[in-house]
Amino acid sequence: MTAHVSPTERIVIENCAVATVDAAGTEYAAGHIVVAGNLIEAVGPGPAPAVEGVTRRIDAEGHLATPGLVNTHHHFYQWLTRGLAQNSGLFDWLVELYPTWARIDEPMVYAAAAGSLAVMVRGGVTTAMDHHYVFPRGAGDLLGAEIRAAAEIGVRFTATRGSMDRGESDGGLPPDFAVESTEDALLATEQAIDTHHDPSFGSMLRIAAAPCSPFSVSTELLREAAVLARRKGVRLHTHGSETVEEEKFCHELFGMGPTDYFESTGWLGDDVWMAHCVHMNDADIAAFARTGTGVAHCPSSNARLAAGIARVPAMLAAGVPVGLGVDGTASNESGELHTELRNALLINRLGGGVRALTARQALRLGTYGGAQVLGRAAEIGSLEPGKLADLVLWKLDGIGHASIADPVAALVLGPAAPVTLSLVNGVPVVDHGHLTRTDEQALAHLTRTEARRLSAIAGLH
C-alpha cells in the first residue's frame, strides 16, 4: 500500500529547530519545512515562504525537526521471544532459542512484525528493515505477513529474504530441523524479489537477499545469493564479525577470518551491508572502505550479548557507510531505535574515548548513515529539497528536555524524546503523539496472545 498525496497539497511546518543532516550539517535554531505531496519542497531559516495549496500549517514551537530514523537491522519475529536466554552469549543464546523459533507461523510473524514496527514508528522510525531467516516448512507466507504489517502502519520498508542451510550435521550452529535446502532458499529468495521488489524512486518496499551468517549458511549459498542479487539488482545483507566465537569458527572451517571469507565469496561491495562488524582489524575496515561495504551498528544488542564494541569511529574515519540497527528484540528487548542514538554515543565513547562520537554524529548514523547503508541516500536520510518527505518532529519542551539549550544534545543525550508528528512520504504515521493507523492496545493484546501460543507450542511453559 503506497501512500498517495497530491503534489499540489502542501504541509507547512514552522517555528521549530531544524537539523537537516545534510552534507554540511546545516541547522536552524528557528526554521521551516515545506512539504509538497511526498517531497520536501523547501527547508530554511525563519518563517516559510508564501505558498499555495496549504492543507495544514503546523506551529512547531518547542520541537526539533530531523529526518526520519532509518533502521538497518532487525528480526521482527523475535518480538515474541523477548526476555529469554537473558544471560547467554551469542552462540549459547542462539542454541537455546532456535528450537522455539523453528515453531513460528504466519499469524505469529504478523503479530511480531506489527508490534516491532509500532514501537519503532512511534519512536521516529520512518524506514524499517527486517532480516527474516527462519522458514519452518508449512508455516505460511512469513515474508508476506511482515510486508502486510509494514504497509498497514505506513512505514517505508526493506524486507530481506534470509536463509539458513548449514545445519548441525554440516558443521553449522542451527539444528538441522531449522534450516532449508540451498536450492529452496535460493528459489524462495528469487520469488520474493520477483513478487515484491520495487526499485523505483520513492519505493515503499525493497527486497534484499540475506543468508544469515557464516556459521549457519553454506559457502555455496553465500556465493549463489550474491550472484542472484546482482542479476536482480537488489542488495545483500548478512551478519558479520559479530563475536570472537564467529571469528574462531571461520578460521577453523575456512582458514581465514570473516572479512576475508566474505571477500572470497563475493560479499564485499557497495551493494552489501552487514550487521555488527564488531571484530574488525585495520585491514578489514580498509577492505570495507575500499569496496563501499556498509555496516549496521547495533550497540544495545552487542552490549546485551557482550559481543564487544564495534570500531565505529575508525570506520567513519576510513569512509565506511555506517547506520544503526535495533537488531532482533530477543537481544534488545527495548526494540527502539531513537534510544540507540544515545547508546551508540555512550558505547563508542567507552570503546574509543570521549571524542569517539558526537551527538551530531550519532544523529547522522541514525538518519543519513542508515540511508547510505540501505542504498537510499539520494531519496531519504536528510532534509533537503527534492528528497522524500520522511521527517520527525521531536517534542523537546517537556520536563525531560526543556532545560537543555542544544536541541540535538537534548534529543541524543536526554531521555527518549516523544514524537509529535512523523511523516512518511508526506503522510502522517504518527500525529499528535499517536500512531495514526494502529490501535496500540489491540495490538498489545494480539502480540501477547501470539507469544503465549508460541510458548505453548514450543513447550516453554
Binding footprint of Zn ion on the chain (CB under 5 A): 275, 327
The H or E element that residue 27 is part of is strand 27-36
- What is the C-alpha separation between 422 and 70, in angstroms, rounded? 13
Beta bridge partners of 335: none
Return the number of the residue (327 or 379) whose C-beta is nearest Zn ion: 327
- In contact, 380 and 127? CB cutoff 8 Å: yes
Return the number of the residue (28 or 215) whose C-beta is nearest Zn ion: 215
Return the number of the residue (19 or 275) whose C-beta is nearest Zn ion: 275
Return the number of the residue (66 or 302) whose C-beta is nearest Zn ion: 302
Q: Which residue has the cell 563475493?
A: 266
Return the number of the residue (28 or 262) whose C-beta is nearest Zn ion: 262
The dihedrals phi and psi of 224, each to the nearest 5 degrees, come to -70, -35
Return the number of the residue (132 or 338) whose C-beta is nearest Zn ion: 132
Return the number of the residue (244 or 286) whose C-beta is nearest Zn ion: 244
- In contact, 309 and 298? CB cutoff 8 Å: no
* Biggest CA-to-CA distance, the chain: 68
Rounded alpha-carbon distances, angstroms, from residue 386 to 4, 11, 49, 190, 367: 17, 15, 17, 32, 17
Provide, rounded to whole angstroms, the least separation between the CB of residue 276 and Zn ion.
7
Q: Which amino acid is at 37?
A: G
Q: Which residue has the cell 532487525?
A: 74
- In contact, 210 and 222? CB cutoff 8 Å: no
**Using a CB cutoff of 8 Å and minimum separation of 24, what contacts does 185-189 make?**
185/211, 185/221, 185/225, 186/221, 186/224, 186/225, 186/228, 188/135, 188/161, 188/163, 189/161, 189/163, 189/225, 189/228
- What is the C-alpha separation between 203 and 207, in angstroms, rounded? 11
The H or E element that residue 149 is part of is helix 142-153
The H or E element that residue 300 is part of is helix 299-304
Phi-psi region of 457 (alpha: psi -120 to 50; beta: other; left: phi over 0): alpha
Return the number of the residue (180 or 327) whose C-beta is nearest Zn ion: 327
Q: Is 40 helix (H, G, I), strand (E, B) or coil?
A: strand
Return the number of the residue (36 or 90) whose C-beta is nearest Zn ion: 90
- What is the C-alpha separation between 143 and 163, in angstroms, rounded? 12
Return the number of the residue (80 or 392) whose C-beta is nearest Zn ion: 80
